[in-house]
């Protein structure tokens, strides 16, 4: 049964997976093009310049992890929503079992993306002469990427698996936060609800803490 | 009449004439003396009145200057004071000035201590900018201006358009205030500190950058400093003079890396073969010759390292530390820093080194706690979705 679900999900999301695989391989390789003996804009021998360049690629890894997770979770449920969940009802499976198969298939499809990023990072590390004191972290970067993409997949998967009503609840919570800030500012206060909520979500102990670390292929 | 009588008579006449002359001279002298005294009195009176006139003129001129400057440079009515910062603002910007002042004063007071109070002779003016876009769109873009006020005369110094966000405005105010304090530093201190200290930037940022510089620097001296050689730290921070920077602070591999980093300026025209011999053939003497010939300044550590040292000294020295730093001009920088911190220079450098080593950036690696937390939340969210209903 898992194979069948995995196959259907692969068919629905293969373009997305392929795109993410290519991007995952290309980004680390592209990020070191000017390091050491690179040639496009002249070599970058200075360690601080190289670190700054690596840092500037951090948000791109974050975006790719978020995009891969969100896109695959959406594609996992889109045909079910389009078919009004008749397919799920027709299967001799408990709901939790069906959701588990979908979830597992989605996570499996994220594996090639993380693998591509790891291989790209390895290629980039091996091909770059590093200045003194700097090291490459291809494994750590790929692990962070894998965890972040699974997390973003899980968030949207949870929202998409629910009914319109549950999606409405999630939206209502968001609107509630906006409304709270509006009320606070109407009464002359400083609106902090959204800021503090986001601050907690992206703090080291928050839900999205994995997104806020150092996304650097080369670091001290 | 005998000759004797005639001689006596002639003598008497001479004596009488001499007496008359003496009397006349005395009278004339007395008269002259009287008139000179009168003239001196009159001169004294004249000088006093002239002095009074000059004082009145100066006061009038100051008043005129003040009036002129007030007319030329109309200050907004509202005054907001936060610590040593004085803002003159349009009423609409008073809350913004209070927020800005609080943020900015915290930064300035934290770094300069009591010396920051000297900024009270300046006013920060906050008002609407008069741009065409503002006029046409009916929007407001505040400008911040710094003006010096001496005896009521306002001398504008800087003017900048700013965004409305208090943090952004605070950074501008802090920068303007720091530039003002920097202008009072002696040349030696200013050149050693270059670029300007930045109280808006957190101290850990300077230390973290210094850590990266220490572990990635091309200079041998930085490596020695990293492992605890305080003399090398002082040399790397340019507070202990060295006879020849290149040969004493760098090794042969360091010369080569310095040349590599300066490819843009060192590999051009006639120097191309020299550059290639240095970089490609590892001809280290060629590297040294190229660096000496180019005269490019080399410093083992950058401005962040020197700033972090000064910040360590200021933090150790308390509120009067910055005043001690600026008032000790003429002495070597190392001695000035020791005076600032109130501890011997080696202790200060040791404190600095410990702080820098503690500022090692968090590694790129994923911490176990971080990974488990992500797995936990992914599992929780997965379980939430397992509880969803199949009925729509």
Q: d(Cα B88, Cα B80) in Å, to the nearest integer?
A: 6
Which one of B99, B379, B390, B391 makes the best mutation probe of the A interface by having the most chain A beta carbons within 10 Å? B390
Contact A100 B386 (CB under 8 A): yes
Between A127 and B164, whose confidence is greater? Answer: A127
Cβ atoms < 10 Å from Cβ of B99: 17
Averaged pLDDT of chain A: 85
Contact B386 A84 (CB under 8 A): no
Unique residue bearing structure tokens 């001695």: B335
Contact A154 B392 (CB under 8 A): no
> Could you give the residue ranges of the DSSP H alpha helices within B113-160?
132-137
Given a cut of 80, is residue B15 above it in pLDDT?
no
Contact A47 B212 (CB under 8 A): yes
What pLDDT score does A39 carry? Answer: 37
Given a cut of 50, is residue B310 above it in pLDDT?
yes
The candidate with the shortest Cα–Cα distance to B222, out of B254, B262, B261, B192, is: B254
Inter-residue contact B86 to B123 (CB < 8 Å): yes
Mean pLDDT of A23-30: 94
Give residue-wise pLDDT tens across range B376-389: 999 998 888 887 77
What pLDDT score does B13 carry? Answer: 73
Pick from B264, B378, B387: CB nearest A154: B378
Contact A95 B389 (CB under 8 A): yes
Pick from A51, A153, A213: CB nearest B370: A213
Inter-residue contact B90 to B78 (CB < 8 Å): yes
Contact B388 A100 (CB under 8 A): no
Q: Which residue of B has its CA nearest to A37?
A: B260
Pick from B261, B361, B373: CB nearest A209: B373
**Which range has the worst mean pLDDT, A124-128, B69-73, B84-88, B342-346?**
B69-73
* Residue B32 pLDDT level (bands cut at 50, 70, 90): confident
Give residue-wise pLDDT tens across range A73-118: 988 887 787 777 777 777 777 888 888 888 999 999 999 999 999 9
**Which range has the worst mean pLDDT, B3-12, B182-191, B237-246, B263-272?**
B3-12
What is the share, in percent, of chain B residues with pLDDT greater than 70? 84
Q: Answer whether A213 touches B (CB < 8 Å).
A: yes
The candidate with the shortest Cα–Cα distance to A217, out of A30, A20, A85, A9, is: A30
Compute the nearest-CA separation of B66 from chain A (Å). Answer: 39
* HSE value, Cβ hemisphere, 13 Å, CA-based, for B8: 4
Q: Which residue of B has its CA nearest to A88?
A: B390
* Residue B174 pLDDT level (bands cut at 50, 70, 90): very high
Contact B362 A214 (CB under 8 A): yes
Give residue-wise pLDDT tens across range B103-152: 999 999 999 999 999 998 888 888 776 656 666 666 666 777 777 776 66
Between B72 and B274, whose confidence is greater? Answer: B274
What pLDDT score does B63 carry? Answer: 75
Q: Answer whether B348 touches A (CB < 8 Å).
A: no
Give residue-wise pLDDT tens across range B46-66: 888 888 888 888 888 777 776
What is the share, in percent, of chain A residues with pLDDT greater than 90? 34
What pLDDT score does B28 carry? Answer: 77
- DSSP assigned state of B282: -
Between chain A and chain B, the number of residue pairs with CB atoms below 8 A apart is: 129
Mean pLDDT of B87-108: 89
Q: d(Cα B74, Cα B120) in Å, to the nearest integer?
A: 19
Averaged pLDDT of chain B: 84
Pick from B211, B364, B377: CB nearest A214: B364
Inter-residue contact B299 to B238 (CB < 8 Å): yes
Q: Answer whether A166 touches B (CB < 8 Å).
A: yes
Q: d(Cα A161, Cα A85) in Å, to the nearest integer?
A: 11
Inter-residue contact A141 to A61 (CB < 8 Å): yes
Q: Answer whether A21 touches B (CB < 8 Å).
A: no
What pLDDT score does B256 carry? Answer: 86
Distances (CA, A) of B10 to B7, B18, B178, B192, B302: 5, 12, 96, 94, 105
What pLDDT score does B72 carry? Answer: 66
Given a cut of 90, is residue B172 above it in pLDDT?
no
Which one of A28, A42, A46, A160 makes the best mutation probe of the B interface by having the most chain B beta carbons within 10 Å? A46
Pick from A133, A148, A219: CB nearest B364: A219
What is the share, in percent, of chain B residues with pLDDT greater than 90? 33
Contact A141 B364 (CB under 8 A): yes
Mean pLDDT of A156-175: 83
What pLDDT score does A25 carry? Answer: 95
Given a cut of 60, is residue B392 above it in pLDDT?
no
Interface of A with B in 130-159 (CB under 8 A): 131-134, 137, 140-141, 143-144, 147-148, 150-151, 153-155, 157-158
Chain A residue numbers touching B215 (CB-CB < 8 A): 132-133, 220
Interface of B with A in 205-244 (CB under 8 A): 209, 211-213, 215-218
Contact B361 A219 (CB under 8 A): yes
Contact A163 B389 (CB under 8 A): yes
Compute the nearest-CA separation of A15 from chain B (Å). Answer: 25
Given a cut of 90, is residue A12 above it in pLDDT?
no
What pLDDT score does A38 carry? Answer: 41
Give residue-wise pLDDT tens across range B317-361: 999 999 999 999 999 999 999 999 999 999 999 999 999 999 988
């Amino acid at each position: 049964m898992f194979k069948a679900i995995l196959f259907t999900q692969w068919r629905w999301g293969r373009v997305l997976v392929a795109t993410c695989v290519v991007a995952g391989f290309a980004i680390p390789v592209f990020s070191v093009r000017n390091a050491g003996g690179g040639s496009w804009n002249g070599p970058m021998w200075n360690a601080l310049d190289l670190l700054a360049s690596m840092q500037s690629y951090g948000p791109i890894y974050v975006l790719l992890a978020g995009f891969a997770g969100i896109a695959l979770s959406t594609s996992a449920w889109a045909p079910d929503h389009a078919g009004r969940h008749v397919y799920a009802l027709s299967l001799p499976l408990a709901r939790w079992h069906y959701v588990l198969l979908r979830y597992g298939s989605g996570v499996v499809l994220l594996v090639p993306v993380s693998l591509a990023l790891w291989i790209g990072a390895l290629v980039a590390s091996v091909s770059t002469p590093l200045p003194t004191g700097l090291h490459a972290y291809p494994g750590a970067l790929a692990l962070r990427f894998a965890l972040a993409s699974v997390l973003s997949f899980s968030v949207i998967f949870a929202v998409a698996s629910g009914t319109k009503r549950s999606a409405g609840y999630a939206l209502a919570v968001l609107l509630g936060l906006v409304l709270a800030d509006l009320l606070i500012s109407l009464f002359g206060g400083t609106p902090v609800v959204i800021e503090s909520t986001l601050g907690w979500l992206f703090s080291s102990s928050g839900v999205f803490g994995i997104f806020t670390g150092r996304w650097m292929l080369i670091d001290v | 009449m005998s000759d004797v009588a005639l001689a006596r008579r002639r003598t008497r006449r001479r004596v009488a004439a001499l007496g008359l002359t003496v009397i006349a001279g005395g009278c004339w002298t007395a008269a002259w003396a009287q008139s000179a005294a009168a003239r001196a009195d009159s001169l004294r009176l004249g000088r006093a009145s002239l002095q009074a006139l000059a004082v009145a003129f100066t006061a009038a001129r100051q008043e005129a200057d003040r009036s002129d400057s007030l007319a030329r440079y109309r200050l907004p009515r509202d005054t907001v004071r936060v610590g040593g910062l004085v803002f003159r603002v349009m009423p609409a910007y008073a809350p913004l000035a209070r927020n800005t002042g609080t943020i900015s004063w915290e930064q300035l007071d934290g770094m300069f201590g009591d010396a920051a109070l000297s900024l009270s002779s300046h006013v920060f003016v906050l008002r609407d900018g008069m741009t065409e876009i503002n006029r046409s769109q009916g929007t407001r873009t505040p400008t911040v201006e710094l003006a010096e006020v001496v005896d009521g005369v306002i001398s504008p110094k800087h003017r900048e358009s700013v965004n409305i966000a208090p943090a952004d405005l605070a950074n501008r105010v802090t920068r303007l205030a720091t530039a003002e304090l920097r202008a009072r530093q002696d040349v030696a201190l200013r050149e050693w500190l270059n670029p300007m200290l930045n109280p808006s930037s957190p101290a850990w940022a300077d230390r973290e950058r210094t850590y990266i510089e220490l572990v990635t620097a091309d200079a041998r001296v930085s490596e020695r400093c990293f492992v605890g050689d305080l003399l090398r730290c002082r040399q790397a921070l340019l507070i202990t003079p060295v006879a020849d920077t290149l040969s004493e602070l760098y090794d042969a591999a360091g010369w080569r890396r310095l040349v590599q980093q300066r490819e843009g300026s060192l590999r051009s025209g006639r120097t191309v073969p020299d550059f290639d011999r240095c970089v490609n053939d590892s001809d280290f003497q060629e590297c040294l010759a190229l660096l000496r010939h180019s005269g490019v300044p080399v410093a083992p550590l950058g401005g962040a390292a020197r700033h972090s040292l000064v910040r360590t000294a200021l933090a150790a020295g308390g509120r009067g530390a910055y005043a001690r730093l600026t008032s000790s001009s003429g002495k070597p920088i190392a001695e000035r820093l020791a005076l600032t911190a109130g501890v011997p220079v080696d202790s200060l450098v040791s404190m600095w080194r410990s702080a820098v080593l503690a500022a090692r950036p968090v590694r790129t690696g994923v911490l176990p706690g971080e990974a488990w937390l992500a797995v936990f939340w992914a599992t929780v969210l997965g379980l939430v979705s397992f509880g969803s209903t199949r009925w729509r």
